[in-house]
Structures are given as structure tokens and as C-alpha cells.
Amino acid sequence: MRPSATIALVAVAAAAPANAKLDMTAFFTGKSHADNVVKIALHGPHKLIVDSVGGRNKAGDFVLIDTVQEEGKPVRKRTWVMHPAGDNHFTGYLSDAIGPVDVVLSGDSATISYVMQDGHLKVTQQIQLQDDGKTLSNHVIAKKFGMTFAHVDGTIRKVD
């Protein structure tokens, strides 16, 4: 390999961002704010804003309280309670869901799965840490009877 090619290769490797690891509890401890757009089958897109506050309860579980503002609907609250279930894995519950919530971490991202209270809407959410370390991309797909019923796209920002 020529010396100039080696120098260029080293420079590119040094400039590449390190593969950051998503620490869910650290990211969601304190306040966060999400700006999203919801697209529901046979409806136009509309805004979905979620302001959250997270921390540990007395039992040591991680609790996240969301204030959900979905355009055209009344403001509502929902609560997540999560605890570790092994390496890179959390489980718990969401007040909007039936059964357990499953969270699997993989490097800079997480996949969150649960079933909404009606029992028919299966939700898969993927979040990925962005280069600034303070923003997550947020992508949600909700399926009903195996078909995509709705999806959400947006960002979640750490506020403090």
C-alpha cells in the first residue's frame, strides 16, 4: 500500500464516529421531548407530541411518564415501568398495553414490542441513537390482523 493511501485510510478511520451504545435508562432519565407524525390507514397525517419524565421508583424499576398530545384528541398520560431481564433486554408494562412490553437493545438502537389494550394492534417501535448523543430517531409500526394499520416517524430529544 502506498504511504499516501495509508495516511488517507488512517485519517478516514480516525474521523469515523465511534459506535455509540444506547443506554435507555440514562437517555430517558429526566425530561425528553418527542416530535412525531402519525399516519393511520385511510386518514391524513397528524402530529404526535410526547413529553416524558423518567427515573427509578422505590422498587428500583425504571418509570417513564408520558404526556401524549395527539392532534385531534384530548391530552392523555401513559406510564411505562421497566426492569432488566438480562443483558441488553428489558421487560415491563405500559399502561396502554396488555401483556408485557419487551425491549431488546442492540448497539445504538432498541426494538420495543407490545400489544395495545384492544388486543388487535401489535406495535413494534425502533429507536436509534443519533450522532449528537442527545437525539433518537423514532419509527413505530402498528399492525392489525397482520397488516400495517399505522406508523409513526419522528425524533426524541433529551431535554436535560
Domains of the chain: 20-158 (2.40.128.20)
Give the single-character DSSP code of 86.
S
Residue 134 has pLDDT above 90, yes or no: yes
pLDDT value of residue 117: 85
The answer to whether 80 and 100 are in contact (CB under 8 A) is no
pLDDT value of residue 160: 84
Residue 82 has pLDDT above 60, yes or no: yes
The pTM of this model reads 0.85
Nearest CA to 36 out of 59, 52, 12, 20 is that of 52
Residue 67 has pLDDT above 60, yes or no: yes
Residue 13 has pLDDT above 60, yes or no: no
pLDDT mean over 105-110? 97
Residue 16 has pLDDT above 80, yes or no: no
Instruction: Tell me how crowded residue 82 is: count the other CB atoms within 10 A of its CB.
Output: 23
